[in-house]
Amino acid sequence: MRFRIVRDPQARPTVYRELTKAAIRDRAITFGALAVVACGLVITACGSQNSPGAASPADTTMSPTSPSAAGVGACVTAQLKISLTSTGALAGQAGGYLKFTNDSGTPCRISGWPAVIGLTAKGQATRLRRMQSSMFGAWHYSAPPPVVTLRPGDSAYAIVAADDKPAGGSTRCPAPYARLQVSPPGDSRNVIISAWLPGAVSYLPSCTSANGSPTAGTSTITTFSSLPH
């Protein structure tokens, strides 16, 4: 801004008023620009924290110990789709992986041994044992069992397997299991699925050990990445 030296005393008030108005106008413009910049910074900061589309850690990963997963309830039969997959025969055992898929719209957590009962075609029922290791899935139990958080559509797995050869002096195994009655850990409700093993071209064997005890059993529930596949 350029200033003029005014020597006429009568003209001073008018000129002063003009200069004052200009200074006020310039100051208003400056403050207005600063306000816009500050407002822009506030909007940017708010958008990065509270935008509806912004992902939080809970949107991408949910570990069992994270605050987002702390309030997640146990998976129950009603919200799970249970099936048998990755079937086959290996190292003297036949079996597959029980697959527990969260078929609901809310996350849940699952941990421990599922309750599985083998049913023959004639309806004879045998509760499958809790295995400590399995040649079929190269799995060994390690305490404590993992806690798997399932978001909608996610799955967890448990090995189900049995010896496929008679032991001791037996020449053949008892009638195989045609169906499996399965419950997730902690839930008394169950579903019944086929025990047919496409990969082994047989039903789940009901062979016994040399002492006569059933060999069919299940592992604890774990993630697919921790099992051979």
Tokens of 35: 């306000």
The per-residue pLDDT for 168 is 82
What DSSP character marks residue 72? Answer: P
Structure tokens, 78? 């009603």
Assess contact for 183 and 158: CB atoms under 8 A.
no
pLDDT along the chain (229 residues), means of 10: 43 44 44 38 33 32 44 96 96 95 98 98 97 86 94 97 91 96 97 98 96 95 86
Provide the pLDDT for residue 161: 97
Distance, in Å, from the CA atom of 219 to the CA atom of 114, rounded to the nearest integer, reads: 8
81 beta partners = 101
Supply the pLDDT for residue 206.
97
Using a 10 angstrom Cβ sphere, with 0-12 exposed, 13-18 middle and 19 or more buried, the burial of residue 55 is exposed
Per-residue confidence (pLDDT) for residue 229, from 0 to 100:
63
Distance CA 64, CA 30 (A): 53
Cα–Cα separations (whole angstroms), residue 199 to 45, 65, 88, 171, 204 = 56, 37, 4, 23, 11
Q: Which residue in 144, 151, 129, 137 sits closest to 207, CA to CA?
A: 129
Residue 78 confidence (pLDDT): 97
SS3 115: strand
Residue 69 is predicted with a pLDDT of 56
Contact 93, 160 (CB under 8 A): no
pLDDT at residue 70, as a whole number: 66
**Rg of the chain, C-alpha, whole Å:** 35
SS3 57: helix
CA atoms in the 13 A half-sphere facing the CB of 146: 17
Strand partners, 61: none
